Chain A
């Protein structure tokens, strides 16, 4: 069997996971060898070819969506560039007094082009991702109105990573519109930016200015990048295979048949799901960063130890950072920067003061951000609820802050003391777990049922060996998970204190360095959840 047939023989999931044998031992090494072997000028083409082959292996003919998206933003970029050049030429010939008016005419033309591009790309995403959801809800409405019509629910094929590369496409075209970047004149460079294989499945969502040039000026692999990158991949692999995948059967069992369990077990399921999601997503991100690092590419980080956050607002600045930044840059500030919203802020500040004044416009923008955030994650009401839940939490947090400060002053407590900080960290984690309960639930109503049971019947009764067996987990699993989590926690704590663990390892002699490598590899081989009794788990964010 040749390489291509082996690769093709694997299911799509064998490639979407960076920790699958197909990817780790065939695809990636082949890319690295070819990349290292060719001269510098050809390296970018290896990356481009690898990215397109990867996408084709995962999504087959649906690669057409990606290619059309690239072609479309390339042409829109050129269109905007043309208008901008015309504007510059005209402005240089125009008297100073008339420039403002002329510029506004050109800006208006550019805005129409931008609007068309955004509508086209977001529209395509909406149709592919949400038409089933909208039709389903429309049918429910028609049924309520006793209308004798039932619309057929469309089943559309969706390419992998569409939610990610569409946001990159929109950010590219918006940045060209704002003059932050120049429209790319090379469609191959733009294609590589849009399709770079490590990031296409789960992000991070990159800005053109962050990675396009780095990718196109691909450098020779350096020893330091190789070792640092491999360490990061192994660390991510440990998080995903030892922790996340080991928790998967238990989480699945609890959420598939929640009626069989008391509230305490459901709470345990929600906690385990939160850990699973974090370890899965951040582990995959470690792999993405590690692979990119080997090629000498620095990508924006997607996680910054979110469970050290003292508020939900801070949590979302540390969790899925590139998505949060995208929403902040392309939704939050554009909404608050409209003339109407600026007037609202000015008036509200006069009436409500410095803290509550901007909350009026900020609240509207936050609502838009969190509604979109929920919808982006999936086409069901529980995702929309998940977004709005965070909107309420963040808005409430902002509203309560001045009152809490006053209270602490009055009772003479220091809000910055360590014990209160620990309390806030635990409280934030608890709020996150509740959000994830709804996120994981099959539908919003079910989410409320689970939440209700968790609150009204909070008991761990029946948590014994028989139940654990039913949940496909045992004490040994818990010990392995706890030890690995403790290791991840120590590394995170050191990072939080500004210590780079990889730098520390690099300073040691060769015996210690390789001992660390081997220990990590052996740990994953011995304690990883794979093989007999385990079903391979796709990267969880690949489905969003």
Chain B
């Protein structure tokens, strides 16, 4: 989780990623941030995030993102 928050901080600093649960709904992370984030997450966690996973539910909080990452890692 710490590494994920580091990545998020690098893309968009000054956000309380540990507690915020509306990163998408509150427009904190915009579509361009998501593009960067996906590229970073794929490199870092050796996963493929298909377009269909890009939904608010998967990106609204760091915790939700971690769950998505773990799910995609376990898929095979």
Contacts and interface: CB of A to CB of B under 8 A. Distances in A.
B51 to A, nearest CB: 4
A337 B38 contact: yes
A541 to B, nearest CB: 25
Contacts of B50: 178, 337
Interface string B18-44: 000000000000011111101110110
Interface in A340-354: 342-343, 345-346, 349, 354
21 contacts: A100-B76, A328-B31, A333-B34, A333-B51, A333-B54, A334-B51, A336-B35, A336-B51, A337-B50, A337-B51, A337-B54, A345-B35, A345-B36, A346-B40, A349-B39, A354-B11, A354-B36, A358-B35, A359-B32, A362-B31, A362-B35
Contacts of A180: 52
B33 A358 contact: yes
A110 to B, nearest CB: 12
Contacts of A121: none
A361 B38 CA distance: 12
A357 B76 contact: no
B49 interface: yes
A99 interface: yes
For the complex, would chain A's binding face be called helix, strand, loop or mixed by DSSP majority?
helix
Given A333-B31, A336-B35, A362-B32, 7 more contacts: A99-B76, A328-B31, A329-B51, A342-B42, A345-B35, A345-B38, A346-B39
Interface of A: 96, 99-100, 103, 178, 180, 328-329, 332-334, 336-337, 342-343, 345-346, 349, 354-355, 357-359, 361-362, 398
B39 A178 contact: no
B12 interface: yes
A188 to B, nearest CB: 27
A349 B38 contact: no
Contacts of B12: 354
B43 to A, nearest CB: 7
A346 B43 contact: yes
A326 B74 CA distance: 29
A361 B76 contact: no
Contacts of A333: 31, 34, 51, 54
For the complex, would chain B's binding face be called helix, strand, loop or mixed by DSSP majority?
helix
B52 A332 contact: no
Contacts of B2: none
A28 to B, nearest CB: 35
A357 B36 contact: yes
B49 A337 contact: yes
A358 B76 contact: no
B10 interface: yes
A96 B40 CA distance: 27
A358 B32 contact: yes
Nearest to A339: B48
Interface of B: 10-12, 31-36, 38-40, 42-43, 49-52, 54, 76
A332 B38 CA distance: 14
The CB with the most chain B CB atoms within 10 A, among A100, A343, A345, is that of A345
Contacts of B31: 328, 332-333, 362
A354 B10 contact: yes
A370 to B, nearest CB: 13
Contacts of A96: 76
Contacts of A328: 31
A120 to B, nearest CB: 21
Contacts of B32: 355, 358-359, 362, 398
The CB with the most chain A CB atoms within 10 A, among B35, B38, B42, is that of B35
B31 to A, nearest CB: 7
A124 B13 CA distance: 47
B52 A178 contact: yes
B45 to A, nearest CB: 14
The CB with the most chain A CB atoms within 10 A, among B12, B50, B51, is that of B51
Nearest to A354: B11
Nearest to A96: B76
Nearest to A174: B52
Nearest to B42: A342
B35 A361 contact: yes
Nearest to A360: B35
Nearest to A343: B39
Contacts of A355: 32
A355 B39 CA distance: 14
Contacts of A329: 51, 54
A140 B64 CA distance: 54
A378 B48 CA distance: 37
A514 to B, nearest CB: 37
A12 B7 CA distance: 56
B55 to A, nearest CB: 8
A362 B33 CA distance: 10
Nearest to A356: B32
Contacts of A334: 51
A74 B41 CA distance: 36
Contacts of A332: 31
